[in-house]
Amino acid sequence: MLIDTHCHLSHERFASDLLDVLSRAASAGVGGVVSIASTLDDAVAVRRLLAELPEPDGDAPTPRCHVARTAGIHPHHAADIPTESRRRLLDELARTPRAVAVGECGLDFHYDFAPPAAQRAAFQLQIEVASETGLPLVVHCREAESEMTPMVQEAGEAGVPGVLHCFPGDLKLLETAMDAGWMVSFTGLVTFRSFDGIEAVQRVPDDRYMLETDGPYMAPTPHRGKRNEPAFVPWIRDKVAEIRGQEPESVASTTTANARAFFPELGF
C-alpha cells in the first residue's frame, strides 16, 4: 500500500468528483491520503469534507481510500494573521476527526504573497503550536533555504518533528533536515526532465522520506499539465525507485512505514 502524504482534497478542482478520485486512489494501491489545509477556513472545510465522506468500505460501488487531515496556515496566507489565530488553530487541530499534523506552513519567497516578516511569524507560531500539541509539522519551503535552515535546526532541537514537502533537492537543506531528525517528501517533480535533485533522492536514508502528490498541482509525467490526484503516486514511486536503484515494492513499503511513523495519529 502507498500513502499520499500531501494532497489538497478541499481544492475546488476536486469538488465535482472527489469520491471517484478516492476510489481511483484505492484501485491504484494508494490506501490513504493526508489532506492538507492552507488556511484556518480551509482547515474547517477539510474537516467537514472528511465528516461527509461515506465509510471507506461502505456501500459505494468501489471502496475509497482513507483520508486524514491537517490544520495550518500556508505562507501565501500569512499576511496579517489575527491574534486569535493560535487559539483557532489549537481548537481546529483538536476537533474530530483530530488533525494528524500542523501545516502546511513555512516560507515562500518565490511568490512573496505575504511579507517575509509575516511569513516568519506565522511559521514560528505554528512551530510553537506543534511543540505544544506534540503533532508533526508539514513544511513548505520555496526559495527560502537560508532562512529555513535555522528554523529547522531550532525546531529539531526543541524535539518538533517536521517534513520538508515537495523537496526540490537542495543538499545543504537536506543535511540540515536530516540532522534535525526531519523527513523530506518527494512529488511528481522527480519525474520532470528539469529535475535537478537526483543526488538528494539518492542520498536520503531509507527511513527519512515519504511520497506525495501535492495534488491538484505538480502532476507527474506522463500526466503533466493535468489535474494531479492521489492515484498518480505510483509514477512518483517508480521514478524514486529508479533513481535509488531499488524495487518499487520496497519504496512503497518503506515510505508507507515512514508515513505511519511520522504521523503517529494517522489511523491507517
Q: Which residues, including other chains, have CB under 8 Å from residue 174's CB and lie 6 or more apart?
A: 167, 184, 200, 203, 204
Residues 210-229 that bind Zn ion (CB under 5 A): 214
Residue among 87, 86, 104, 85 at smallest CA distance from 46: 104
CA atoms within 13 A on the CB side of 22: 29
Cβ closer to Zn ion: 187 or 191? 187
Report the length, in residues, of the chain.
Answer: 268
Cβ closer to Zn ion: 6 or 66? 6
Instruction: Give the interface size with Zn ion as a residue count (CB under 5 A).
Output: 2
Q: Which stretch binds Zn ion (CB under 5 A): 61-69, 83-91, 138-146, 226-234?
A: 138-146
Greatest alpha-carbon pair distance for the chain in Å reads: 50
CB closest to Zn ion, residue no: 140
Cβ closer to Zn ion: 77 or 244? 77
Binding flag, residue 239, Zn ion (CB under 5 A): no
DSSP state at residue 77: G
DSSP state at residue 256: H
Cβ at position 218, least distance to Zn ion in Å: 9
Binding flag, residue 140, Zn ion (CB under 5 A): yes
Q: At what angle do helices 171-179 and 145-157 cross, to 10 degrees?
A: 10
Q: Which stretch binds Zn ion (CB under 5 A): 118-126, 152-160, 208-216, 233-241?
A: 208-216
Antiparallel, parallel or unpaired: β 101-108 and 162-164 = unpaired
Q: Which stretch binds Zn ion (CB under 5 A): 127-135, 140-148, 197-205, 226-234?
A: 140-148
Distance of CA 51 to the CA centre of its chain: 20
Cβ at position 63, least distance to Zn ion in Å: 26
Cβ at position 12, least distance to Zn ion in Å: 15
Cβ at position 133, least distance to Zn ion in Å: 20
Contacts with Zn ion by CB under 5 A lie at 140, 214
